[in-house]
Amino acid sequence: MKIKFLGHASFLITSDKGTKIITDPYKSGCFGGGIKYEAIDEPADIVTISHEHDDHNETKIKGNPSFVRGAGKKEVKGINIAGVGVYHDESSGKERGTNTIFNMLIDGVNVVHLGDLGHTLSASESQEVGNVDVLLVPVGGYFTIDAKTADEVINTLKPNVIIPMHFKTDKCGFPIAPVENFIKGKDVKKVDGEVTIKKENLPEKTTVYVLKPTK
């Protein structure tokens, strides 16, 4: 598969068979212009939405996609997707509401998108998430887990590949931290905007890929 970073928490994942999945598409210009990434114009077959905030829930996506929200297991257009209900904060949702983690089985690889996770995972939550090969993890803090808490979640889920998201850039005006806070001291591979992942080539040692937003 190919994983392309659109921006913020949005990725375009294309399976080997050509199925296109977009995660958490943002509404360009939302939050008073806080999200400055260009509008998403790529078509999709499937769109996952972790929660109903405007920087994660654009529905004007080309391709007549199926939208996936909430907890539970389902098969959508040949892709097995498991949603796990968690929270957007450390107060059981009292501050920012609920959030869904999605584990998507694509080309034999478990790709997990944490959405706007706001807390560490309990043993039961981690067990429900299941096997993780590729982890798309928020690292900017303030609205989500920060770099330190992201490390704790990573140590719990033990992915082969880590791709950070939801961090400060020149196109994100939110008061969140840049990706540098997270990657400090880590073995990092920087990629322009897209990475190819194959089950047989998953690294044995956990590897961080930092993708440049393409929008």
The model's pTM: 0.93
In contact, 154 and 134? CB cutoff 8 Å:
no
pLDDT of residue 26: 97
Give 10-residue mean pLDDT values along the chain (215 residues). Answer: 97 98 96 92 98 91 97 95 84 76 98 94 94 97 90 96 95 91 88 93 93 96
The domain locations on the chain are: 2-211
Task: Please write down the HEC assignment for all residues of the chain.
Answer: CEEEEEECCEEEEECCCCCEEEECCCCCCHHHHCECCCCCCCCCCEEEECCCCCCCCCCCCCCCCEEEECCEEEEECCEEEEEEEEECCCCCCCCCCEEEEEEEEECCEEEEECCCCCCCCCHHHHHHHCCCCEEEEECCCCCCCCHHHHHHHHHHHCCCEEEEECCEECCECCCCCECHHHHCCCCEEEECCEEECCHHHCCCCCEEEEECCCC
End-to-end CA distance of the chain: 20
Q: CATH second-level architecture of 2-211?
A: 4-Layer Sandwich (3.60)
pLDDT of residue 92: 73
Alpha carbon distances (Å) from 162 to 85, 152, 157, 194, 207: 21, 13, 11, 13, 6
Q: What is the pLDDT of residues 156-201, one digit of tens each?
A: 999 999 999 999 999 998 989 999 989 988 889 888 899 999 999 9
pLDDT of residue 184: 87
pLDDT of residue 56: 87
Residue at 117: amino acid letter = L
pLDDT of residue 159: 97
pLDDT of residue 187: 84
| Gap between the Cα atoms of 146 and 60, Å rounded | 30
